[in-house]
Structure 1
Amino acid sequence: MRVLLRLTLLYSVMFLVSGAVLLALTYFLVTQSGAGVSMSSFNTSPSGDQSFSNIFVGDGTPEGVPLTETERRLIEAARLGAAQQHAEFGHQLLVKSGIALAIMSVISAVLGWLVASRVLRPLRTMTDSIQLISARNVHERLAFTGPRDELRALADTVDGLLGRLETALDSHKRFVANAAHELRTPLTLEHALLEEAIIDPDATVESYRERFADLVVVSEQQAKLLESLLVLATSERGLDRPEPVDLSELVGNVLRAAEPRACKQNLTIGEWVRPARVTGDAALVERLVANLVDNAMSYNIPDGRVEVVTGVTGDGCFVAVTNTGPPVPPEMVDRLLHPFQRLQRTAGDGHHGLGLSIVQTIALAHSAELSVRARSEGGLAIRVDFPAERQPAISG
């Protein structure tokens, strides 16, 4: 049933009930006012002489005056006539009031329809405007004008939702474009290597082996990119089964796995790890730490340093990673948190600019706060503050 019809019926029923109550009260008061007192005034006797002038109360008997039989009959007839007149008056009042109530019920239904239409007109306008908004014109807004009432608050809420949707769509478009660009490069390289092997008339087994080795490297880069995209999508979805996680244990695992690379790059790793328990997804948190360490080692200087710290604060736990490296302009710090953004784009370095964006997404999934600061001496200082550990809910 439409809202307009429901509101019309509601207004009509409210008027009908209130009118019926008012009619009942009026009828009750009018009938009761004539039941206790019957008034008859006689100025002259039947013979023409002024014999009495009294008010008869209750059953019509005059007070303190001896009555003849004829006078008693006259008084009784007057009383019966007054009672019949009063009953007829009550009946006429009830009938005419009922007719008036029926007429006003019809009028109230028409007025209720008009009033409901006027009240719902802004909603219909907003509905028509929302139906015209699509992905092509999501920038449009309702721009509802009027008093700051519930309808204005609803329109402002819808405008805010459209703004967030526009931002999300723009971000999605940029992400898809960047992902397509990143995937196009290795595919083009693969095609070029295969085409070169096919059209080379002097190709040998060794040349084929070299090209196949290059294809393996390109394939590994594609696999890393797809894995990063999958982790990014998984972390944006949120947490499935949060569980207690020890940051110090995860940091230890990541640093042990990074030792061969640190030795190869001649990097020094400083470790100040204290027990720090958080609630979250262990795999995602470990990926967060691994991306921070990988970013600190990848964008470093020869004989550089990486420092990893975990600890407990009054509001929760934290993990911080600091590295030496080339100077980072402060205005570039926020851009590095977006997908496919790198300080210096180097072909074939195996990095696609997804490391810090994955860190930010995982931090948001864990309600953690990510802070990135460019160090004056070069490199970045990155810290992730996790909220205090929450006790898991016990089902059953």
Structure 2
Amino acid sequence: MSLTARISGTRVRLRLTLLYSVLFLLSGAVLLAITYVLVTQGGSSVGMSTFSSSPSGDQSISNIILGNGGPGSPPLTGSERRLVEAAQQQAARQHAEFGHQLLVKSGIALAIMSVISAALGWLVAGRVLRPVRTMTDSIQLISARNVHERLAFTGPGDELKALADTVDGLLGRLETALDSHKRFVANAAHELRTPLTVEHALLEEAMLDPDATVDSYRARFEDLVVVSEQQAQLLESLLVLATSERGLDRLESVDLSELAGSVLGASRPRACEQDVAVVTRIRPARVTGDPALVERLVANLVDNAMSYNVPDGWVEVATGTADGGCFLSVTNTGPPVPPEMVDRLLNPFQRLARTADDGHHGLGLSIVQSIAVSHSADLSVRARPEGGLAIRVDFPAEKSPAISG
């Protein structure tokens, strides 16, 4: 444990000790005050009961001291009255001395017990904080290399056990995130290595060709432009993915039908070129979100549906409202997709057929999922038995924008 952690733990233990001691001191003082009041207020009645309980042979003496004459007895003489007054004064002094002694001795006892309670409080505070120190030591030993380790706290199901279980859950989520980050970085490096290798090969071929002409150089440069565009698309996709996972910077009211119409309008030439029919069932559907990210979500779904299609296939795009929210669905024909591959397609750099020059890097659906999560939307992907996918995104009800960029 570091010095700072030890000092902090000692401060907490000292505060708990002081709290225990103060509580004991206050409760002891209250108990002492109650005892003192009860004793001092009940002293005279105790003395009178003592005198009244004298034996029958001394009944006359007690009557004289108490100033009580018997029935028909003569009044007290002067000497007897002075005797009674002296006895009463003596009793009052004894009562006051008794109260003083009680107060002093009780105060001494309270002071001694306060010291003992402070020592016991220090021990009890250490006992209470021992599991916290154990968890702190274990957490400080966990790093990126051994994030798989857990506290594994054993004990009764109290607040400390709940805290340890919460930390274990946090470590589990952190381990999952780190593993995902490592896979993402490795896949990104692999995807970037391919166009760089092709680019290097084209440049090397042009340099080593002794019979190179202007036309051959122009052809190499055209190939380099294509490779450069692929790199730019990959970097842009990575940037969008990182942005969507970071969260929303602004919220606006967005109409899914307008975005879908705009994206489909830009995709018409491509659909005609690939001989893919486009079916639309677009109805107004307003959601709250980042317009750029929502548009990227629609564009990725439409691009994915057209890219992985078959000749004479079709793509159906629908928007609307349902169950108090809005939805966007994109369904397409295409090659059969194994059901076990559906969930994998939502991970970065995953695609059915890995082709180096197809212009796709397997980021489309992972970006869609990330954008859907950032907008609290539900994404469902289903493989159609006839081939292709049926994808639906259900957005929550429109809310008043609270974030502005």
TM-score by length of 1: 0.94
SS at match of 2:167: helix
Tell me whether 288-297 or 238-247 shows the greater mean CA deviation.
Answer: 238-247
Cα deviation, residue 51, structure 1: 8.4
Equivalence for 2:118: 109
What secondary structure sits across from 1:186 in the alignment? helix
Q: Which residue of 2 aligns with 1:61?
A: 67
- Could you tell me which of 137, 151, 157 is aligned with 1:142? 151
Match of residue 272, structure 1, among 257, 275, 281? 281
Q: Within 2, Cα distance between the matches of 1:10 and 1:152?
A: 24
Q: Check conservation: 2:297, 2:368, Cα contact below 8 A.
A: yes
3-state secondary structure, aligned to 2:395: strand
Secondary structure of the residue that 2:60 maps to in structure 1?
coil
User: Quick one: which of 60, 66, 83 aligns to 1:52?
Assistant: 60
Q: Which amino acid aligns with 1:305?
A: W
- From the superposition, tell whether residues 341 and 272 of structure 1 become closer, same or farther in structure 2 (CA, over 3 Å): same
CA displacement 1:8-57 (0-9 Å, x = unmatched): 0000000001111111111111111124565374989xxxx978233579
Name the Cα RMSD after superposition: 1.9
Aligned residue number for residue 387 of structure 1: 396
How many residues align? The count is: 389
Q: Which residue does 1:223 correspond to in 2?
A: 232
Shift in Å, 1:391: 2.5
C-alpha deviations, 1:313-363, integer Å up to 9, x for none? Answer: 023111111111110000000000000000000120100000000000011
1:178 and 1:340 in contact (8 A); partners too: yes
Secondary structure, counterpart of 2:62 in structure 1: coil
Cα distance, 1:229–1:41 mapped onto 2, change above 3 Å:
closer
From 303, 324, 336, the equivalent of 1:327 is 336
The one-letter amino acid paired with 1:344 is: A
The residue aligned with 1:260 is 269
Check conservation: 2:249, 2:403, Cα contact below 8 A. no
Q: Aligned to 2:383, which of 356, 362, 374?
A: 374
Structure 2 match to 1:133 = 142
Which residues of 2 match residues 213-362 of structure 1 at below 5 A? 213-362=222-371
On the 8 A contact 2:350/2:362 being kept in 1, the answer is yes
- State the Cα distance separating 1:393 from its structure 2 match: 4.8
Q: Matched residue of 2:155: which SS?
A: coil
Judging by fraction of residues, say which structure has more helix: 2
TM-score relative to the length of structure 2: 0.92
Note closer, same or farther for the CA distance 1:375–1:28 as it changes in structure 2 (3 Å cut).
same
Q: CA 1:275/1:154 → structure 2, altered by over 3 Å: closer, same or farther?
A: same
Displacement of 1:62 after TM fit?
2.2
Partner deviation per Cα, 1:263-320 (whole Å, 9 max, x = no partner): 1111111111111111111111111010000000000111211111111102311111
Structure-2 change in CA distance of 1:56 and 1:92 (3 Å): farther
CA distance in 1, matches of 2:361, 2:63: 110
> Can you list the C-alpha shifts for 1:192-218, whole angstroms capped at 9, x where unaligned?
111111122221111111111110000
Comparing 357-366 and 314-323, the one that deviates more: 314-323
User: What do the CA deviations read for 1:49-105 (whole angstroms, capped 9, x no partner)?
Assistant: 978233579xx4324542222222222221111111111111111111111000000
In 2 relative to 1, CA 180–62 (structure 1 residues): closer, same or farther, beyond 3 Å? same
Q: Does 1:210 align with 2:219?
A: yes
Rounded to whole Å, the distance in 2 between the matches of 1:394 and 1:338 is: 29
SS at match of 1:244: strand
Distance 1:288 1:56, change over 3 A: farther
Where in structure 1 are there 5+ consecutive unaligned residues? none
CA distance in 1, matches of 2:347, 2:371: 13
CA distance in 2, matches of 1:195, 1:285: 42
Which secondary structure state, in structure 2, belongs to the residue aligned with residue 377 of structure 1?
A: coil
CA distance, structure 2, for counterparts of residue 347 and residue 138 of structure 1: 35
Question: Aligned equivalents of 1:72 and 1:281: distance in 2?
Answer: 103
Between 1:191-200 and 1:144-153, the stretch displaced more is: 191-200
State the match for 1:89 in structure 2: 98
Would the aligned equivalents of 1:41 and 1:53 in 2 still touch at CA under 8 Å?
A: no
Bigger mean CA offset, 71-80 vs 202-211: 71-80
Distance in 1 (CA, whole Å) between partners of 2:40 and 2:198 is: 103
Give the C-alpha shift of residue 371 in structure 1.
0.5
Counterpart Cα distance in 2 of 1:180 and 1:153: 40
| 2:129 paired residue number | 120
Query: 1:169 aligns to what SS in structure 2?
Result: helix
Give runs of ≥4 in structure 1 deviating > 6 Å. none
Corresponding residue SS for 1:52: helix
Deviates more, 1:123-132 or 1:79-88: 79-88
Distance 2:275 2:184 in 1: 35
SS in 2 for 1:308: strand
1:175 paired residue number: 184
Q: Is 1:30 paired with 2:39?
A: yes
Q: CA deviation at 1:253?
A: 0.3
> Conserved in 1, the CA contact under 8 Å of 2:64 and 2:80?
no
- Supply the distance in 1 between the matched residues of 2:183 and 2:170 (Cα, whole angstroms): 20
Specify the SS of the correspondent of 1:28: helix
